[in-house]
Amino acid sequence: MLKTPLGRFRAIALLEGVSFLVLLFIAMPLKYWAGMPLAVRVVGLAHGVLFLAYLPSLLEVAVAHRWSLPRTVAAFGASLVPFGTFVLDARLRREQQTAVT
């Protein structure tokens, strides 16, 4: 999976999406409801690093697979919406399966 630009992108997108959900639904409530701001610092840092890895990975796969600008922008937008990277991954996986058969 990590040998191709698309495989690397999907792996990073999965990790980025998970970190975003953990930040929103675990770390933020811990900060504001339980008075534990360290959770946001730790998870926020991890999410930030993964988001910064997502961007060059997105550009790499967009160039390698000759994605259109609207598709590339939509893939970027998926990283900004909770569960967006999971929806994107499902579409990419479906496209891969269709291309193979």
- Mind listing the pLDDT tens digit of every residue in the chain (101 residues)? 778 999 999 999 999 999 999 999 999 999 999 999 999 999 999 999 999 999 999 999 999 999 999 999 999 999 999 999 999 999 999 988 887 76
Between the alpha carbon of residue 72 and those of residues 6, 57, 64, the distances in Å are 13, 11, 12
Residue 14 CB-half CA count within 13 A = 12
Give the start-to-end residue ranges of the domains of the chain.
5-100
DSSP state for residue 9 in the 8-state scheme: H
Under 8 Å between Cβ of 85 and 48: no
